Amino acid sequence: MAKSRFSENEILSLLKDYESGKSIIDICKDSGISMPTFYIWKRKYSSQSHIETRIKLLEQENFHLKQMYAELSLNCWEDQNR
């Protein structure tokens, strides 16, 4: 599946705009997406609570931070053993 050019935070922001009363046509026009895309996102993300989505994002960030730490630790260890 192709990677979306919108992050989950951006998608949730667009859905919050809709919930606050902004029309779907305006949201689609402003963000450059089609109406079917908006409805797909609405169906997909309305089933998830905001807490679940936030937890998923934090888990992804944690994974990336652990990778960065491992790479830095390995580089330091290699520098010490030269």
pLDDT recorded at residue 44: 86
CA–CA gap between residue 22 and residue 34 (Å, rounded): 16
Quick: pLDDT tens for 32-78: 999 999 999 998 887 766 677 778 888 999 999 999 999 999 888 88
Q: What are the boundaries of each domain within the chain?
A: 1-47, 49-82
Q: What is the DSSP letter of 4?
A: P
CA–CA gap between residue 37 and residue 29 (Å, rounded): 12
Q: Could you give the angle at which helices 35-46 and 8-19 cross, rounded to 10 degrees?
A: 100
pLDDT recorded at residue 53: 74
Quick: pLDDT tens for 10-21: 998 899 999 899
Residues in the chain: 82
pLDDT recorded at residue 14: 93
Out of 2.115.10, 1.20.140, 1.10.3470, 1.10.10, select the CATH number for domain 1-47: 1.10.10
pLDDT recorded at residue 51: 74
